[in-house]
């Protein structure tokens, strides 16, 4: 009952009242001790039991209503963090690399390098949004290569790690193909990864030393914010399956419906099928996913497994977990069951504070602005989502104001971007922007 009380209706709409204290205070006003003793017996023992019984019945009623408004568990919530590449634990079955090639530097170098420049590694920038934009504006830095013949000067180039953006776009398409509503994924970590390249002019590719051990780059003011050998992890993994795994019934000789069964899978986990040219339709049913195809047999089709059990922190997994989890509450249950959206300040703030941001920021106000030119559009975490029906340029600005809970934390600004991105999905009347106050 105590855990449930934090979410019940009384905690939202009523003020606390300590009836026992109130009775004791009133008893002090009785000067005659015999009368006070008699009144205490009547009020504290008689009326007190009645009040406690009434409160218990009231709480039971609230709890019953609360449980009747139960919302379905979200099978597609995401969790993300970063770890040192050398500390990655392959036995941890709750966190996997966002990009599996992060564990194979040679393959990554082969994919990202070209005839003009060579990928030497990635860096993570532990800095706020303003500093991140300044860093991106620098584009290139001087440095030295530590080779056998001595130190050799070189020019290095940085650019945002595009492979993570490509993965996010791929993920969004998978949700669309499975007809699952998209919820903003908190990419606070992914947005701070940068690939480092070296110009190969005058260099032999084979003799470029290992980064960062034998390469020193003059990052200047950004040096203290640079982290090496970090990789992002999340609660998702790709699994392959083929037609030998389950029965393949033929449907009138035109196409086949293959069943991806969920009965033997972890309860609560989400599964999405990646579409391909061989797949005509994906349909989610109870305990199975039906895949329509003209192929009778197939192999190496892919499913995305989204793990929902509690995330395990392996040794040296120190960085915070960021997620798109929404906190449960009575008002949220009621709103989702009634399918009603109230465009009020209270409802707007409720939706914001349900997001997993409470350790970093809190919303303190908002403003509707007509002069949209004063607030240039900033790229959110859903850059791949297009709303062509209501152009952003013609909308008024809903300016949300936030306060830092831990001033100076490098993830605070990212949490604002996360909130703005999610609220923008829910509100099409305005262009949402956020500021820290």
CB 175 within 8 A of CB 182: yes
Report d(CA 416, CA 432) in Å as an integer: 11
Q: What is the pLDDT of residue 44?
A: 72
d(CA 135, CA 137): 5
Q: Which tokens go with 180?
A: 């699952």
pTM as predicted: 0.81
**Is residue 161 exposed (0-12), middle (13-18) or buried (19+ Cβ within 10 Å)?**
buried
- Give the DSSP letter of residue 390: S
pLDDT at 336: 60
pLDDT score of 368: 92
Whole-number Å distance between alpha carbons of 109 and 105: 6
Which candidate, 401, 412, 409, 410, places its Cα nearest to that of 436?
401
What pLDDT is attached to residue 131?
A: 94
Q: What is the pLDDT of residue 4?
A: 44
Strands 396-404 and 430-436: parallel
pLDDT attached to residue 10 = 47
- DSSP-assigned letters across all residues of 290-356: EEEES-SS---EEEEEE--SPPP--TT--SPPEE--B---HHHHHHHHHT----SHHHHHHHHHTBS
Dist. CA 75–CA 335, nearest whole Å: 20
Q: 36: part of which helix (H) or strand (E)?
A: helix 33-40
pLDDT tens by residue, the chain, 437 residues:
345 444 444 444 455 667 778 888 888 888 888 888 888 888 777 777 888 888 888 777 776 665 555 555 689 999 999 999 999 999 999 999 999 999 998 899 889 988 888 999 999 999 999 999 999 998 889 999 887 777 888 889 999 999 999 999 999 999 999 999 999 999 999 999 999 999 877 677 767 878 888 899 999 999 999 999 999 999 999 999 887 655 556 556 678 888 898 888 888 899 999 999 999 999 998 889 999 988 888 888 999 999 999 999 999 999 999 999 988 665 656 556 656 666 788 888 988 989 999 999 999 999 998 876 777 777 899 999 876 667 777 788 999 999 999 999 999 999 999 999 999 998 888 899 999 99
Q: What is the pLDDT of residue 74?
A: 80
Q: What is the predicted pLDDT for the residue at 250? A: 59
Backbone phi, then psi, for 305, in 5-degree steps? -100, 120
- Give the model's pLDDT for residue 146: 86
Cis omega (within 30 of 0) for bond into 212? yes
């Amino acid at each position: 009952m105590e855990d449930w009380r934090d979410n019940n209706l009384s905690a939202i709409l009523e003020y606390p009242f300590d009836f026992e204290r109130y009775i004791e205070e009133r008893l002090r006003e009785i000067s005659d001790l015999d009368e006070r003793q008699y009144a205490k017996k009547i009020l504290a023992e008689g009326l007190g039991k009645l009040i406690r019984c009434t409160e218990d019945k009231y709480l039971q009623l609230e709890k019953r209503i609360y449980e009747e408004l139960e919302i379905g568990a979200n099978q597609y919530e995401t969790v993300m963090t970063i770890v040192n590449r050398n500390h990655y634990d392959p036995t941890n079955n709750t966190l996997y690399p966002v990009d599996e090639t992060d564990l194979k530097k040679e393959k990554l170098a082969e994919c990202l390098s070209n005839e003009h420049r060579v990928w030497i590694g990635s860096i993570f920038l532990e800095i706020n949004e303003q500093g991140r934009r300044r860093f991106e504006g620098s584009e290139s830095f001087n440095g030295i290569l530590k080779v056998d013949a001595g130190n050799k000067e070189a020019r290095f180039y940085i650019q945002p790690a595009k492979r993570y953006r490509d993965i996010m776009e791929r993920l969004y398409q998978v949700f669309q193909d499975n007809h699952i509503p998209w919820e903003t994924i908190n990419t606070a970590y992914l947005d701070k990864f940068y690939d480092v390249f070296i110009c190969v002019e005058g260099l032999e590719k084979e003799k470029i030393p290992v980064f960062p051990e034998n390469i020193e780059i003059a990052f200047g003011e950004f040096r203290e914010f640079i982290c090496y050998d970090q990789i992002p992890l999340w609660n998702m993994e790709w699994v392959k399956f083929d037609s030998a795994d389950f029965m393949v019934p033929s449907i009138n000789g035109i196409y086949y419906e293959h069943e991806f069964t969920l009965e033997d899978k972890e309860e609560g986990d989400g599964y999405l099928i990646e579409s391909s040219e061989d797949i005509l339709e994906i349909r989610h049913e109870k305990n199975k996913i039906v895949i329509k195809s003209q192929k009778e047999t197939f192999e190496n089709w892919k499913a995305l497994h989204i793990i929902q059990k509690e995330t395990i922190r392996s040794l040296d997994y120190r960085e915070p977990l960021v997620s798109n989890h929404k906190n449960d509450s009575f008002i949220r249950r009621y709103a989702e069951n009634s399918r009603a959206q109230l465009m009020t300040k209270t409802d707007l703030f409720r939706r914001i504070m349900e997001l997993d941001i409470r350790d970093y920021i809190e919303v303190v106000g908002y403003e509707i602005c007509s002069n949209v030119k004063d607030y240039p559009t900033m790229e959110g975490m859903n850059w791949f989502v297009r709303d062509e029906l209501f152009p952003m340029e013609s909308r008024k600005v809903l300016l949300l104001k936030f306060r830092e809970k831990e001033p100076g934390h490098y993830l605070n600004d990212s949490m604002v971007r996360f909130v703005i991105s999610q609220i923008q999905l829910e509100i099409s009347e305005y262009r949402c922007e956020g500021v820290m106050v």
